[in-house]
Structure formats: structure tokens, C-alpha cells
Amino acid sequence: MLYLVRMDVTPPRDMDPEEFARIKAREKDYALALQRDGRWRHIWRVVGEYSNYSIFDVAGNDELHRILQDLPLFPYMRIAVTPLATHPSDLAAQ
């Protein structure tokens, strides 16, 4: 199943910058592994925000929930998930 996911990151203002850098490094490693295995298909930055839009290709809701919950930045995120379906006017669907 395909999902469009928006992630908005809001770290605590008083978070130690070095600790935040360590968390971001773990986040990047995790995200790259998911991209390499094909489950995190696309990621785009939202200009001017600490946010992204991503496309995930996973078996279902439970797998996506586990993936998102395991993100090192998860405690500092607001996440919106939209399940996607094939559009009948999509050239690839013809």
C-alpha cells in the first residue's frame, strides 16, 4: 500500500544541540535503510519548514505505524498519514 506522510519536526527549545545532532544522525541512517529496501520510496523537504512529505510503500497500516514509531525523531513529530489509491486517469493505470 502507498501512503503520503507529512512529518513536522518540533524539537524542544532547550534540547542539547549535540544530543539533537546524534538523534538526527540516527534518523538519517534509519531513513536511508528504509529507502534502500524500497519501503520509503520518496522524500521531499517542505521549503522554509522543518517538515517533509514522503511516500511509503508498505504492507499496511500496522507496518507503517511501526516504521514511523521507530523514527528517532518520532517523539518530536506531528505526523499526518494519507492512504493512496490508483487514480483512473493515471497513465500507468491504463
* Domain range annotation of the chain: 2-86
Residues facing 62 on adjacent strands: none
Residue 71 confidence (pLDDT)? 98
List the Cα angle 31/33/38 in 5-degree steps: 95
> From the centroid of its chain, how far is CA 70?
11
> From the centroid of its chain, how far is CA 74?
10
Residue 38 confidence (pLDDT)? 98
For the 2-86 domain, the top CATH level (class) is: alpha beta
Average pLDDT score over the chain: 97
pLDDT tens for residues 38-67? 999 999 999 999 999 999 999 999 999 999
Whether 76 and 93 have beta carbons less than 8 Å apart is answered as no
* Residue 44 CB contacts under 8 Å (≥ 6 apart), including other chains: 52, 53, 54
Confidence of residue 4 (pLDDT cuts 50, 70, 90): very high
Residue 93 confidence (pLDDT)? 79
Residue 55 confidence (pLDDT)? 98
